[in-house]
Amino acid sequence: MKLKTQLWDGCILFIIAAFLIIPLALTFLYSVFTAWMDILPTGFTLSFYSEILTDGAFINSLLRSLVISFVPVCICSLAILLVLYVTTLYMPKLEKYIEILCNIPYAIQGVILAVGIISLYSGKPGFLSNRLFLLVGAYCIIILPYTFRGLKNTIGALNVKCVVEAAQVLGCSQLHAFFAIIIPQMKNGIISTMMLAFTMLFADFVVVNMIAGSAFRTAGIYLYQTMSKSGQLSSAIIVILFITTFIISTLTLMIQNKAVTKRGKN
């Protein structure tokens, strides 16, 4: 009886996993064959990859994507860490309201956020109407709920008050204690939260398309523009973007593991 349910569960998992993986796998296969008219494709080649990777425009768009995904993550994480410093040590009651502010973006996702920002700031003087500035700001809001939740959970696992009091008695200011003792202990949580936020922004298309459009061509926009030109090139781009995300996640996991073994934790 148990075996039967185990087989059944295994089947379900297999079917779902297959359904999820097949489009992905096929995209990859599509990028390495010249023609696919029947069940099996023909003409194995890596020419599409070499074409894409030598295309300066693509490399630039990839770099733009990396930068524009990284900068808002740093800004947002720092802003929230500072807020957590205040709410954990001085004003715990404030946290409720901060949480509400951080949950609002759930209701103004994607299009709505872009609409709100464009309709408010286009045509305004100075840096307020600068597309890049607006894009960074919009991105900060997109990742706000996830960054807040991730960092709050990380700090919640620590005994902040007691440690900071001990540091104070030893002559240390609360600010110094927060940055010298609490934040190093949050390292892993901070890194995984930042990574999650990064991958979300890296995959964005809606917001950057609406706010920046062709003024700031990220990899996502480049992909969209390539779709109408060549199917194989587009799949190659998708695979490259995928691999990039994968490399970054693996690197961050490696960094986290290194930190753990150094401290000899189990």
Partner 1 sequence: MKAKKNYKFYLFALLPFFIIVLLFEILPLINIVIESFSKTGGGGFTLDHFVKIFSTRLYQQSIYNSLWISIFSAVVGIFIAFIGAKAAHNASPKIRNAFTSVLNITSNFAGVPLAFAFMILLGNVGILTLIGKNYGIEFLANYDLYTINGLLLTYIYFQIPLGTLLMLPIFSGLRKEWKEAVGLLGGNSFHYWFKVAIPSLLPSILGTFSVLFANSLAAYGTAYALLSNNISLLPIRISQQFVGEVVQNQEFGCALSLVMMALMVISVLITNKLQKKSGGVQ
Partner 2 sequence: MAYIEFRDICKSYDGENQVLKNIHLDVEKGELVTLLGPSGCGKSTLLRSLAGLEQINSGRIILDGKDITDVPVQKRGIGMVFQQYSLFQNMNVEENIAFGLKIAKVDKNQIAQKVQRAIEMVDLVGKEKSYPSQLSGGQQQRVAIARAIVMEPKVLLLDEPLSAIDAKLRRELQEKIKRVQKELKITTIFVTHDQDEAMIMSDKIHLMNGGIIEQSGNPVELYTHPVSKFAAEFIGHYNILDNHQLKTLLPKQDFDNHYYAIRPETISIQNEPIQDQNVYSFEAKVSHYISRGNVLRYTLNCHDVILKSETLFRSFTLFDEGQKVYVGIEPHNILAIRE
Site for partner 2 in 161-200 (CB under 8 A): 162-163, 165-173, 176, 181, 184-185
State the minimum distance, in angstroms, from the CB of residue 185 to partner 2: 5
Q: Which is nearer to partner 1, 59 or 128 (CB)?
A: 128
44, β-bridge pairs: 33
Give 237's Cβ-side CA count (13 Å radius). 25
Evaluate whether 199 touches 206 at the Cβ level (below 8 Å): no
Residues binding partner 2: number (CB under 8 A) = 19
Tokens 């946290």 appear where? 95
Using the contact rule CB under 8 A, the part of the chain among 113-121, 155-163, 196-204, 232-240 near partner 2 is 155-163
Amino acid occupying residue 111: V
Q: Which is nearer to partner 2, 97 or 179 (CB)?
A: 179
State the minimum distance, in angstroms, from the CB of residue 170 to partner 1: 16
Q: How far apart are CA 83 and CA 99, in angstroms?
A: 11
State the minimum distance, in angstroms, from the CB of residue 148 to partner 2: 23
Using the contact rule CB under 8 A, the part of the chain among 59-67, 135-143, 160-168, 236-244 near partner 2 is 160-168
The correct pick among 23, 123, 125, 264 for binding partner 2 (CB under 8 A) is 264
**Strand duo 42-44 + 33-35: pairing:** antiparallel
Is 132 an interacting residue with respect to partner 2 (CB under 8 A)? Answer: no
Evaluate whether 112 touches 184 at the Cβ level (below 8 Å): no
State the minimum distance, in angstroms, from the CB of residue 84 to partner 2: 17
Tokens 């089947």 appear where? 11
| Contacts (Cβ under 8 Å, ≥6 apart) of 137 | 72, 117
Give 229's Cβ-side CA count (13 Å radius). 11
Q: Which is nearer to partner 2, 9 or 165 (CB)?
A: 165
Q: Which is nearer to partner 1, 13 or 263 (CB)?
A: 13
CA-based nearest residue to 155, from 123, 183, 117: 183
Q: Which residues bind partner 2 (CB under 8 A)?
A: 159, 162-163, 165-173, 176, 181, 184-185, 263-265
